[in-house]
Amino acid sequence: MASPASARMFYPKTKRGWRGWLVGALAVLGTIAFMGLGVVALVKSGVDVFKVQTALSSFRLYGIAIQCAVVALVGLRWHALVRWGQRRGIVQNHEFHRVIELRAKAMAFLCAHLLLVPIGPQMLFKLLGMG
């Protein structure tokens, strides 16, 4: 049976408890509420929301490009990212080599996410000349 001191070596205490989760949840809810209030304010001011949406949709490709760059950066800097996770206690010492080997699977997941969510099937069909 391992002593509590040796158990702490493998499972360090996290610094972020329930208060951290509460603050994060409140931040997400606050952001959603702020965005909702912004849309309501636009509608009440008489602005045509569909024209605003059309104007802002031109920035979609920039967002996709930024997300592709982030995915490429994660792939290129995977070792540094895993070492950072190890320093923060997210990746344990005995998991380090296994997580390093998961690079290909993580990149496949991130690329699938890019194709399905930000780029989307409609944009893919348009790019392939099928839509």
pLDDT score recorded for residue 9: 55
pLDDT digit string (tens) for 89-118?
999 999 999 999 999 999 999 999 998 888
Torsion of CA 38, 41, 47, 48, to 10 degrees: 60
Does an H or E element contain 9, and which?
helix 4-10
CB burial of residue 40 (10 Å; 0-12, 13-18, 19+): exposed
* pLDDT greater than 60 at residue 6: no
Domain residues of the chain, as ranges? Answer: 1-47, 48-131
- Record the tokens describing residue 1, joined without a space: 């049976």
Contacts of 13 (CB under 8 A, 6+ apart): none
Q: With 0.85 as the threshold, say if the pTM is over it.
A: no
Percent of residues in the chain assigned helix, strand, coil, to nearest 5: 80, 0, 20
Q: Are 85 and 91 in contact (CB under 8 A)?
A: yes
Cβ of 85: how many Cβ atoms within 10 Å? 15
pLDDT digit string (tens) for 51-93?
888 888 888 889 889 999 999 999 999 999 999 999 999 999 9
